[in-house]
Amino acid sequence: MENKVVLIVGGSGGIGQACADLFSKAGAKVVLAARNKSKAEAKAKEINENGGDAYVIGVDVTDLGSVSDMAREVTENLGEIDILVNAFGMGMIQPLLDIKPEHAKEVFDVNVYGTFLVTQTVTRYMATAKKGTVVMFPGILGKAVMRNSSVYSASKYAVTGFTKALVEENKRSGIKFSLLYLGGVATDFWENPNIDMRVQKEKMLTAAEVAKAVYYAASQPGQSVLNEIVIQPESHQMV
């Protein structure tokens, strides 16, 4: 990973920050892109004080201008983006009849449209370079549904279908795609009024465990690619 440029979109969240730690320790130049820059800046400061190489950039994944500026600035200042980690997302676990339409729209805007914008914009650069790795997080609810997950699962199934179609489009582009179907991860994701369920974080995956899977996916040698992987807490198995 020495001197590779790793763009982590969702750099203020637990998974994004754990990935930043791991990639920076391996010698990569890590860019934490986030709407909440304060958390990303705190993590970048910690990484840099420990001898790493981390940067922060603000981004609104639902705004084309913001996403375009992010990709351009990273490329101009650090070089070609080698790895894109789409570690952002918005949760919603509620009965269909309780969901406010504006909240559902926000979930689709971030999880679906945001994923489209970021991926399309960054892979334009990767296609020119004829190389790159994109790591997606449809989560386990992008593979199997559970009660009250209608809107969230719909958004995550969209990510799954989107990525599988991109694999077909990019068989000769040099761009690799990996899908990570994760069970519950102990992060701030659950601290959301639109997630109406009780959780036991102590029984969930840790962000550090997830980061190891992301690193493994992104470090596949040569022509090999990790297409997809399912990782779940033993107590939360769904598939």
Residue 215 among the catalytic residues: no
pLDDT digits (tens, 9 = 90+) for 220-239: 988 899 999 998 887 665 55
95-101, Cβ contacts within 8 angstroms, sequence gap of 24 or more? 95/148, 95/196, 96/148, 96/150, 96/151, 98/196, 99/150, 99/151, 99/194
- Which helix (H) or strand (E) is 193 found in, with range? none
65-69, 92-96, 231-235: least confident range = 231-235
In this prediction, residue 200 carries a pLDDT of 72
pLDDT digits (tens, 9 = 90+) for 11-48: 888 899 999 999 999 999 999 999 988 999 999 999 99
The catalytic residue among 55, 152, 181, 215 is: 152
Asked if 88 and 16 touch (Cβ cutoff 8 Å), the reply is yes
Task: Give residue 220's identity as a one-letter amino acid code.
Answer: Q
- Is the confidence at residue 192, as pLDDT, over 60? yes
80, two tokens: 């070609």
- Is the confidence at residue 61, as pLDDT, over 90? yes
Query: What gap in Å lies between CA 82 and CA 7, rounded to an integer?
Result: 8
* Domains in the chain: boundaries: 5-236
List strands edge to edge, sheet with 29-34: 53-58, 29-34, 5-9, 83-86, 132-136, 175-182, 228-231
Contacts of residue 92, defined as CB under 8 A and 6 or more positions apart, other chains included, come to 99, 103, 104, 107, 151, 152, 192, 194, 195
Read off the pLDDT of each residue in 54-58 and give the average, rounded to a whole number. 96
Mean confidence (pLDDT) of the chain: 92
Query: What gap in Å lies between CA 27 and CA 22, rounded to an integer?
Result: 9
- Is the confidence at residue 190, as pLDDT, over 70? no
145-149, 156-160, 188-192: least confident range = 188-192
| In the block, residue with structure tokens 């992008």 | 142
Query: What gap in Å lies between CA 172 and CA 158, rounded to an integer?
Result: 23
The dotted CATH code for 5-236 is 3.40.50.720
Query: What gap in Å lies between CA 118 and CA 60, rounded to an integer?
Result: 10
Q: Which residues pair with 179 in a beta bridge?
A: 136, 228
Q: DSSP characters for 10-40?
A: TTTSHHHHHHHHHHHHTT-EEEEEESSHHHH
